[in-house]
Structure 1
Amino acid sequence: MTVKLQEVLESEKSILRNFFSLYLHELSNFTTNLDIAEDGVFHFEELDKFWEVDGLSPYFIMLDDKIIGFILLLERPFLKKSNDYGINDLFILNKYKGKGLAVQAVRKLFEDKPGQYFVMQVVENKRAVAFWKKVYNGLNIETQERQDLIDDELFLIQTFKV
């Protein structure tokens, strides 16, 4: 099973919107900042900006020709500080979790875009925290880690170079 990353085209926005709703539903287990809308969907209001602002780069995670998730990569010129890249969001469908596919996607991203990274997880999202620790250990990446309060939510933030 080979994983690849495919840049999300603006014409595929509705597909990404559907995946983002699933992602936000999952994330709502760990934060009080997310609620379902009256129409029964979790909305990400900033989605349109992905194609309006340079440096907000969404990628589908593909398995063969099937979309199984996405990564939202922050890069320059959106990022102006010491990091070249930030992984803001990573989501993979439940059916594909635990098979090493998300790790393959991250490895592919790091191979394609080496540089200084940061990654953030909500502290309460123990599965995400464990996933990223597994990635760092498996790829022999040394990180600097800190906690920060963002929008009244406690986050773990790791910085590292690949």
Structure 2
Amino acid sequence: MEVPEDAKPVLRRLLEFNAYEFSVLDGRDLGPHGEYGYRYLDHYWDERERRVPLFFEVKGHVAGFTLLRMGPPHAVAEFLVLPKYRRHGVGQAAARQVFTRWPGDWTTHQVAGNDRAVAFWRSAIPVLFEESADSSGTSQRFRT
């Protein structure tokens, strides 16, 4: 479901959790106010034609989120499935619903060292894809 603006505080907290998990990989530290922050959050409501924030739900509970940048190509900017819902098909189902809802050219990118994310996207992308890797990480390009 698209995240309504009044749910922005919930998304902000989920982004903090996401940044906390990623800090192991990217070495990021907390800012002076005890938060990692996400400088693009407001853009998801200010630029609705170019950015889409979505929650994933399971039985009425938020199970994760994704932030999309609409292209071409469309891009998955952020993607998180909460630990309780991982390995139950929630992420794969959510990703495939996104690709179906917004067909076209897509790109995903996983930061270097995030092998679980690389494996996830390899299984979640429902079509053949091109993959490349460099020092910044691994990317997939595909068309739905």
Q: Same fold (TM over 0.5)?
A: yes
Residue 104 of structure 1: aligned partner: 93
* C-alpha RMSD of the superposition: 1.5
Residues 86-97 of structure 1 aligned to structure 2 (within 5 Å)? 86-97=75-86
Residue 55 of structure 1: aligned partner: 50
Residue 3 of structure 1: aligned partner: none
The answer (yes or no) to whether the contact 1:22–1:42 under 8 Å persists in 2 is: no
Bigger relative contact order, structure 1 or 2 (CA pairs below 8 A, ≥6 apart): 1
C-alpha separation in 2, matches of 1:119 and 1:19: 20
Once the two structures are TM-superposed, the CA of residue 148 in structure 1 deviates from its matched residue by 4.9
Q: How many residues align?
A: 143
Residue 133 of structure 2: aligned partner: 147
17, 22, 34: which one aligns with 1:27:
22
C-alpha separation in 2, matches of 1:8 and 1:144: 30
Give unpaired runs (5+ residues) of structure 1: 1-5
- Quick check: 1:42 aligned with 2:36? yes
Question: Counterpart amino acid of 2:140?
Answer: Q
Identity of aligned residues (%): 29
Question: Counterpart amino acid of 2:80?
Answer: F
Residues 72-92 of structure 1 show CA distances to partners (whole Å, capped at 9, x for unaligned) of 1110xxx3xx51x11111001
Q: 4+ runs of 1 displaced by more than 6 Å?
A: none
Once the two structures are TM-superposed, the CA of residue 124 in structure 1 deviates from its matched residue by 0.8
Residues 91-113 of structure 1 show CA distances to partners (whole Å, capped at 9, x for unaligned) of 01111111111001011112212
- Quick check: 1:135 aligned with 2:129? no
Question: Counterpart amino acid of 1:17?
Answer: R
Residues 33-66 of structure 1 show CA distances to partners (whole Å, capped at 9, x for unaligned) of x222233332112211111123111100111211
Name the SS of the counterpart of 1:7 in structure 2.
coil
C-alpha separation in 1, matches of 2:9 and 2:76: 21
Once the two structures are TM-superposed, the CA of residue 125 in structure 1 deviates from its matched residue by 0.6
The answer (yes or no) to whether the contact 1:123–1:129 under 8 Å persists in 2 is: no
Question: Counterpart amino acid of 1:63?
Answer: V
The answer (yes or no) to whether the contact 1:73–1:88 under 8 Å persists in 2 is: yes
Name the SS of the counterpart of 1:29 in structure 2.
helix
Give unpaired runs (5+ residues) of structure 2: none
Residues 6-36 of structure 1 show CA distances to partners (whole Å, capped at 9, x for unaligned) of 101111110100000001111111113x222
